[in-house]
Structures are given as structure tokens and as C-alpha cells.
Structure 1
Amino acid sequence: MSRLVVACVQMRSSRDPAANRAEAVARVREAAAAGAAYVQTPEMTALLERDKAALFEKIRQPDEDETIAALREVAREARVTVHLGSLAVRVGDKVANRAVVIAPDGEILATYDKIHLFDVDLPNGETWRESATYVGGECAVLAATPIAPIGVSICYDVRFPYLYRAYAEAGAAILTAPAAFTRQTGEAHWSVLQRARAIENGAFMISAAQGGRHEDGRETYGHSIVVDPWGRVLAEGDAEPGLVMAEIDLAEVGRARGRIPSLAHTRPVRLETARPLAAQ
């Protein structure tokens, strides 16, 4: 099908995995009832917890995780493609920030571990060291879904354009970056990054987000967004939990790439360092 309805589930995940799971399932059902064929939840759907000890106490191995199981069940029940934006799962003595793409029959189509870890010191005093807890992924993942080929990424990945170009060159019609962007960086860069990735690659960009003041003290930007391949914002939320929905036409991908065929014009570049004038 060329035309379909997509939905972003915007959340304000707490330190209670059961409550977060119940909200995510309810929102998927709500989106499906409203006609969505694809529903995406944000980064860290199941739990937002900055305390490392508390995080380890509450997370599970992927095959034991109740949120993955619940979203597989609701995908099967509602007959929709569910993209669990991410959750924390155990990987040895560290944690992976893992996305899970689920088919309408409940089978797992793809998993992706966040490649780029957010290790930054922000001007407002916020410090983040994801690498102290999380292990970064090593592989990009193109999910072959009943909707379209989907390039899977998470949050900070959106600042690395080469990842999305690789997806587009591999045939992705939809790119994704579900997130828990900080309010400060979101206000500055969220919208322009989402639109840039869509425009550069002639693809839809769909990114569900966390929004508001969380139980663990952080504040996220929200503004779940759907952008078309020409860079037009089709739908965008605010900071409050809820659904952000849009109808998309996948034929727009071919039209955008035909108008600006930058994918076909990509060339390898050899970098040379110019000599100072005095040395010439």
C-alpha cells in the first residue's frame, strides 16, 4: 500500500516498568483503533532511570523482558507493525539500548543496538556518560517490514548523517530516530536534524519522543515528529504524552528522489591537505 497512517507514541516514562508498559500497550491499541498501520514508541519506553544500580535491578535479558512480550502481543492483537523505539536490556555486565521492530503477527523482524553513545557536557551543567553504563552497537539494521524498508536508529544517532545515507542507499523509505532528547538540545536542534535527515535522503523521518519532567529528574523535549521526504513536517507534538499521527504516501519517496537525485550523484571523495603558501 502506498498510503498509510503512522503513529508516534509520546511518553513520559517513569521508574516503574509496569506502568510504562501498560501505557505503551494502551497507546498502541489507541493508535491502531484510529487506523495506524505502524506505531512507534520512544527511546527507553520501558524505563527511564539514571541510577545505575536501580537500572540493573529492573532490567532483564531480552527473552525475559515483559515489555517486549507485551508489545509483541499487542502487535498480534491489533495487527499492526510495532516499533519499540528502545529499551534497556542486559548484555553481560553492561546494558544495550535496544530497538525492537515487531511484525503484525507478533514476530520480531529486527533488533538494533544504539551505535552512538551520548557522552557530553552541556552548557547548563548537565553531564551525560552513556558509555559508563551502555555498550554501543556495531551494526546498522534495515528492517524489512510489511510497510516499507525502515532504517532503525536511536536518539543521538540522528547527528551522524552517514548512517541515514547508508540506509537510503540500501533502499530505506522510512528513517527513524526515536528519542529522549534533553530539553536544551531539543530546543536547539531536534526539528532541524529530523528535517535534514529526511531531505538529504528523500525519505520519511518518523521519530517518537519522551517529553516533560521525569521521575528520575531529567527533562526531555518531546515533539514527536513525522517529516516527509521533501522536509515538510506532517505532524509534531508538544511536550505532553499522547499520540502524534499522520497519513503518509510512500510514493512521495520516489518523487522526492526523482526531483533531487542526490543519492545517484554520490561520489567517493579523496581528501587532500593543502600546503601552506610559504611551503609552495
Structure 2
Amino acid sequence: MREMIVAAVQMRSGVSVPANIAAMEDLVRQAAARGARYVQTPEMTGALVKDREALRKSLRPEAEDPVLRAASKLATDLGIYLHIGSTAVDAGNGMAGNRGVVFAPDGARLAGYDKIHMFDVDLDNGESWRESATYQSGDKAVTVDLDGALLGMGICYDVRFPHLFRDLALAGAEILTAPAAFTRQTGEAHWHVLQRARAIENGAFMVSAAQGGVHEDGRETYGHSMIVDPWGRVLAEMQGDEPGVIVAGLALDEVRAARSKIPNLKNARSYRLDKGLRTSMGEQVA
């Protein structure tokens, strides 16, 4: 049976990159000590900084980024696959890239993914976000091979776009990911159902490390890092928003089993939308 022990690291990143690196290293070492072969950290592992100008001044190209340099060394020291859920890097033209990077056990960079969908929303209670004002959207879906298991990369808000995860699953991904910094407001409403839905509809494992708690820049994130199996069962979850580690063993043959029982990936059909279609409310679909 094909198996892999994986871990999700929950953090409460602040504005100090060195402090966040130290926290990351401690938690990743805890995960490796518990047998994890693959360890994932949350979105914006390096720093959560609401001030756009302060963030822009701190940006470095990927090759010079201290978080990614530290991650490469840590992967080598521990002999693990280390997935930095994301950190902000200089994307050029004054914009940042919200970039996730996976490192091999020898420290080599295996893959990088720039978040495609920007969190441009207006929530209740006056909470408003415009990621597109700071971050340059990615335009490529990415998979990476981990000891024969294919992993599909996503970041946070991407989880609300099921076609991305469907494409990753159709490309063969058995493990899907959405490391996040979900707001408390949206997390309380949608986090669990979105994680389980992406796993169920694709017959894949879902691993999502999260930021949690009240951060130095004033934002509040939901936490509840999760690992879900292809049948939608929660294998591990952080019960709250405190920093910590969750670990689970993935029986990768369960992917094939789930997709055999409900072969919706194979059963999908193309169709057209009749522009004359009317809704139950009598409104014509444009």
C-alpha cells in the first residue's frame, strides 16, 4: 500500500520576518519529529503585513528571499519535502507575488506556484480586502511529484474556484492543497465545507495549513488547519487558532478507490447554456 505521512503547520505570522522564520523552523521540526515526510506551512508564512508600502519595501526576488533560503536548508537538514504555503516575493513592476514553493529533501526547489485568484472582497462589518492592489496574479496551475504521489498547488482564496482543483485532479493530482490565511469571518462560515467539498468532488486528499489568531497588523485569521481524505472525512484538524502541528497518514490507494466508486471525473460531460433558459424566478439567463 502506498502511504505518506504529512503535516500541516499552523502559524500566527507577524511583521518580523526573522521571528516568523524562527517560528516556522520550530514547528516544522516538530512535524518532522512526528514522522512527517511532507510538511506544509500556511499562506504568508514569511510575514503578514497590511501596510502595502511597508510590504513593498521588504520584498526580495525569490533567489534572495530569506524565508525560502531557510526553508531549503531546513528541508535538507530534516530530509523532508517542505512546502512553504506562500510568502511574498518581488514580482517586478512594484508588485508582489504570493508564491508557494516546494523543496525536496535535498533542498532543491521542485516547484513554485503564484496564487491565481486575488481576494478582492467586501465583507460584513466593513471588512474589505483588495489583494490585486498589491499582488500580481499567477496564470499557471502547478503539480509536483512527491515520491510518486502527485500534489496540486493552490493558495487560500483559490479554494473557492473548483475548476482549478478539478483541472489539477484531471492532471493526476492525488493530494490537493490550499494553505491559507482565511479571515475569521469567512472561515467560520465556509472553511470546513470548502475543504471537504474540494476533497469529495475530486476524490483526493486535501491538506491545508492555516494562519490563526489576532496578528500584529490587526487582522484576525481563522486557523483550523485541516487534512481531509478523498471521501470527505477529516483526518486531522487544529481545534482553534493557536500555532501548532497536525499530522496524518495518507493511504494513497484511497484516491483510486474513491474515484472508482464515484467516477465523476470521468463522467463529466460538456454542455451548452441555452440563453433562453429561464430560472425558477422567471428571470431570463443572460
TM-score, normalised relative to structure 1: 0.97
Q: Give the paired residue count.
A: 277
Q: Do the aligned residues in 2 keep the contact of 1:223 with 1:239 (CA within 8 Å)?
A: yes
Q: Contact 2:89–2:99 at 8 Å: present in 1 too?
A: yes
1:75 corresponds to: 75
Distance across 2 between alignment mates of 1:107 and 1:271 = 46
Specify the code of the residue in structure 2 equivalent to 1:235. Answer: A
Alignment of 1:1-280 (within 5 A): 2-92=2-92, 93-146=94-147, 148-237=149-238, 238-274=240-276
Q: CA deviation at 1:59?
A: 2.2
- Amino acid aligned to 2:129: W
Assess if the C-alpha contact under 8 Å between 1:9 and 1:209 holds in 2.
yes
Cα offset for 1:2? 1.4
**C-alpha displacement of 1:264:** 0.9
Q: In 1, Cα distance between the equivalents of 2:148 and 2:13?
A: 27
Distance in 1, Cα, partners of 2:36 & 2:8: 10
d(CA) in 1 for partners of 2:29, 2:148? 18
Aligned partners of 1:103 and 1:146 also within 8 Å: no
Deviation at 1:146, TM superposition (A): 2.0
- Structure 1 portions without partners, runs of 5+: none
> Is the CA contact (8 Å cut-off) linking 1:109 and 1:145 kept in structure 2?
no
Structure 1 counterpart of 2:58, one-letter code: K
SS at match of 1:246: strand
CA distance in 2, matches of 1:182, 1:268: 35
**CA deviation digits over 1:76-109, x for unaligned, max 9?**
1111000100000011110010000111111111
Whole-angstrom distance in 2 between the partners of 1:186 and 1:219: 10
8 Å contact kept, 2:34–2:247: no
Residue by residue over 1:44-82, the C-alpha shift from the partner in whole angstroms, topping out at 9 and shown as x without a partner, is: 000000001111222211000111011101101111000
Aligned-residue offset at 1:139: 0.6
Encode CA deviations 1:159-179: one digit per residue, 9 max, x unaligned: 000000000000000000000
Is contact 1:50–1:216 with CA below 8 Å preserved after alignment? yes
Of stretches 240-249 and 195-204 in structure 1, the one that deviates more from structure 2 is 240-249
CA deviation string 1:127-180 (max 9, x = no partner): 100011111001111112225111101000000000000000000000000000
Report the AA paired with residue 255 of structure 2: V
8 Å Cα contact 1:38-1:147 kept in structure 2: no
Q: What TM-score comes out, normalization by structure 2 length?
A: 0.95
Q: What CA distance in whole angstroms lies between the structure 2 residues aligned with 1:4 and 1:143?
A: 15
Provide structure 2 residue ranges, at least 5 long, that are not aligned to the other structure: none
Amino acid at match of 1:220: T
For the residues of structure 1 that align with 2:10 and 2:254, how far apart are their CA atoms?
25
- Residues 173-219 of structure 1, C-alpha deviations (whole Å, 9 max, x = no match): 00000000000000000000000000000000000000000000000
What root-mean-square deviation, in Å, do the aligned CA atoms of Structure 1 and Structure 2 show? 1.2
Amino acid at match of 1:157: D
> Mean alpha-carbon deviation: is it higher for 55-64 or for 31-40?
55-64
Letter aligned with residue 110 of structure 1: A
CA distance in 1, matches of 2:84, 2:247: 16
